Amino acid sequence: MNEKIISQLFEEFHIPKHVKRHCETVADFAFMLGKKIVERGTKLDVELVRRSALLHDLVRIVDFKKFEPENFPDHYENDDLIFWLELRKKYAGRHHADVCSEILVEKKWNEEARIIKQHGFLQIQKGFDSLEAKLLYYADKRVKHDKVTELQDRLDDGKVRNGLEVANKKISIELDKKVHLLEDEILSLAGITLP
């Protein structure tokens, strides 16, 4: 899979421009961290991480808690809206990570599908099957819209925008702690500190 195919997928799935910018920022951030991790001697497929990050929210539209395209920051066409409504209907009640993974498996992009399937917030409870999956998960949790931000700010914002995936506040705090521990692991492997 290359950048041209990824661009074609963006068009095929009518990815909203603000979601595309988010994916690109996550990809750039994950790629930067991945290169630093590799430079320090840890094996990691940074190109796989980059491709997975670019595609991780390909169908994010399916589970927006508030679907209000009129409030999107960018112009969209009527055919975009029709496509989004059909996609939301087809995959109602499904998490976008699972849907995207399923779509990519159908296209035989199994490695990207496996990594993307693991980027939902609650994955931190289950753990990850690779460093690539950890890196995508972490990078996504650091990018608020299209800006890299402090981890807790992004976690708090995600809970407000997406609704708490965890109703129990005590469990939510424990999950946040696990995400912070993952941050410590990733930054230690990269040999850097971030605000």
Does some domain include residue 158? yes
- Left if phi > 0, otherwise alpha if psi is -120 to 50, otherwise beta: which for 108? left
Does some domain include residue 46? yes
Does some domain include residue 178? yes
Does some domain include residue 31? yes
Residue 108 exposed, middle or buried by CB count within 10 Å (0-12, 13-18, 19+): exposed
Which residue has 């917030």 as its token pair?
121
Q: What CATH number should be reported for the domain holding residue 79?
A: 1.10.3210
Going by C-alpha positions, the residue among 67, 65, 57 that lies closest to residue 99 is 57
- pLDDT > 90? residue 146: yes
Q: Distance between CA 73 and CA 77 in Å, rounded?
A: 13
Q: Which residue range(s) make up the domain with 47?
A: 3-190
Q: What is the pLDDT of residues 92-127, one digit of tens each?
A: 999 999 999 999 999 999 999 999 999 998 899 999
Going by C-alpha positions, the residue among 144, 127, 116, 133 that lies closest to residue 178 is 127
Q: What is the pLDDT of residues 44-89, one digit of tens each?
A: 999 999 999 999 999 999 999 889 999 999 999 999 999 999 999 9
Helix (H) or strand (E) holding 158: helix 151-162
Does some domain include residue 92? yes
Tokens at residue 117, please? 């399937």
The amino acid at residue 33 is L
In sign, the C-alpha dihedral spanning 136, 108, 11, 83 is negative
Mean pLDDT of the chain: 94
Q: Would you state the pLDDT for residue 162?
A: 61
CB 97 within 8 Å of CB 118: yes
Number of separate domains in the chain: 1
Going by C-alpha positions, the residue among 38, 44, 37 that lies closest to residue 189 is 37
Going by C-alpha positions, the residue among 116, 138, 150 that lies closest to residue 187 is 138
Does some domain include residue 58? yes
Does some domain include residue 195? no
Q: Would you state the pLDDT for residue 195?
A: 82
